[in-house]
Amino acid sequence: MKPIADLLAEHPFFEGVGAEELTALAGIGTDVRFAPGEVIFREGDAADRFFVLRSGRVGLEIHAVGRPPHLLTTLSSGDVLGASWLFPPHQWQFEAIALDETSAVALDAAELRRHLDADPALGYLLVQRFAGLLVKRLQAARFRLLDVYGDV
Amino acid sequence: MSEPRPTSTASAMPVADPMVPTPYEVVGRRQEGVDTVTLTLAPTGSALPTARPGQFFMLWAPGVGEVPISLGGTGSDGTIEETIRVVGAVSRALVGTAVGGTIGVRGPFGTAWDLEAASGRHVLFVAGGVGLVPLRPSIAEAVARADEFLGIGVVVGARTPADLLFGDLLADWGRSGVQVVTTVDRGDRAWHGHIGVVTEVLDLVDLDPAATTALVCGPEVMMRFTAQALEGLGVELSDVQLSLERNMKCAVGHCGHCQLGGGFVCLDGPVVSADRAAPLLRVRER
Ligand SMILES: Cc1cc2nc3c(=O)[nH]c(=O)nc-3n(C[C@H](O)[C@H](O)[C@H](O)COP(=O)(O)OP(=O)(O)OC[C@H]3O[C@@H](n4cnc5c(N)ncnc54)[C@H](O)[C@@H]3O)c2cc1C
Ligand code: FES
């Protein structure tokens, strides 16, 4: 099995992060795997991990009483999973479910926040990258609202 | 939509006049998605010139009207395939033509995809909805000449899994080494592709952006976002080809119906490079 630092180094989210920082982050990471159908986290639970997806497919779902679960989006290799770990109240807002055999590195959220606070240069780089992803997802959500293939 | 000049008899049809429809018989009819049908058309007399992928025909439903429809495929026996989504009166009449019925065809018109520009490079096809129709013959050609390319990617977006066109073909292409990525706006756990818009899954195709030629077809908003996303990944806009959609009437540069910027989409398009089209895509249709 590859060392966690190598798994992180291969992931686009950590591109440009130095070897020393990666080793430090690897210390708070675990190699995790999920079977198809396995729930990764549930809405309302403590958002205590940040997932760096390596392979597979994860669905983000929202549940409402009396309705089937609504699959909002899918994430796959090269993506990161979870935004709620960064912002109070640190609670998941959606349910994440593995749709295929999925592998990821799970970073401990509290430790990760401590690392980012302690190393502002790394903190800035990763939060900036994270913000870029959130903007990309927001734009994609807006694009989807246009329902471009819909009824003309 | 205007009616073309009706013609008297099939045999007396002068094929040289681009304004006069040539009668084609519907010899095959296949339901594709929820509201989309592929018609196989065979000339009843002399055939029109062979169209190149990306070009379009004007299809005339007698008594109803005429609309532009891209070449969907060419048979070795001179037949053409046209895949039509029902959106209004003319498309409904065309799709409703039974096997044995007649449709008037003019063309082929417009510019074609430049697949040669992708020779020795990665070629990426990005389709949204019915936009897969004009790309289909070009993808088939690329697959047949696969060794000429560094790699082939096909990214397809649709509204729901049921709206996804040519599922069997996509699977065939996947089996022959094409990287196929499908994504829908709405799906459930039973769906095996992605959920999201095409721009979110472009980076799942393994390619070298600097050596990539992209052929993109779909609703204009989708093409605009896709061109931006490709540029963000490092693909040159001059290496991105788009197929513009404007309402058309004459298709030969006379009526001005399809005017866009300083040109006419029926003559200068529909296929244009994204660096030329980017400012035009922001121009509203008059
Ligand atoms: C070059 C070119 C190639 C095309 N190729 C194909 C093809 O292969 N298959 C296919 O199904 N369609 C294709 N189209 C679109 C097709 O021409 C239109 O769907 C058709 O003209 C609609 O005519 P209608 O009378 O059925 O509907 P209309 O009554 O004219 O329109 C019904 C509704 O659809 C909207 N609409 C009309 N045309 C378009 C359009 N082009 N794009 C988006 N909305 C539109 C109208 O605003 C209206 O709301 C192509 C268009 C162009 C310009
Ligand atoms: S459709 Fe008449 S000028 Fe283009």
Other beta carbons less than 10 A from residue B14's beta carbon: 9
ipTM computed for the complex? 0.85
- Structure confidence by residue, pLDDT tens digits, A41-76: 999 999 999 999 999 999 999 988 888 888 999 999
Predicted TM-score (pTM) of this structure: 0.90
Cα dihedral: B193, B195, B197, B201 (round 10): -50
Q: Which atom of ligand 1 is nearest to the CA of B110?
A: 1
Handedness of CA A78, A82, A86, A87 (dihedral sign): positive
Per-residue pLDDT 10s for chain B (286 aa) are 555 554 444 444 444 688 899 999 999 999 997 899 999 999 999 899 999 999 999 999 999 999 999 999 998 888 999 999 999 999 999 999 999 999 999 999 999 999 999 999 999 999 999 999 999 999 999 999 999 999 999 999 999 999 999 999 999 999 999 999 999 999 988 899 999 999 999 999 999 999 999 999 999 889 999 999 999 999 999 999 999 988 889 999 989 898 888 889 999 999 999 988 877 666 555 4
Peptide bond into B53 cis (omega under 30): no
Q: Which atom of ligand 1 is nearest to the CA of B243?
A: 1
> CB within 6 Å of ligand 1 — which residues?
A 152; B 1, 56, 65, 67-70, 83-85, 87-91, 130, 133-134, 245-248, 270
Contact B250, B258 (CB under 8 A): no
Is B260 touching ligand 2 by the criterion CB < 6 Å?
Answer: no
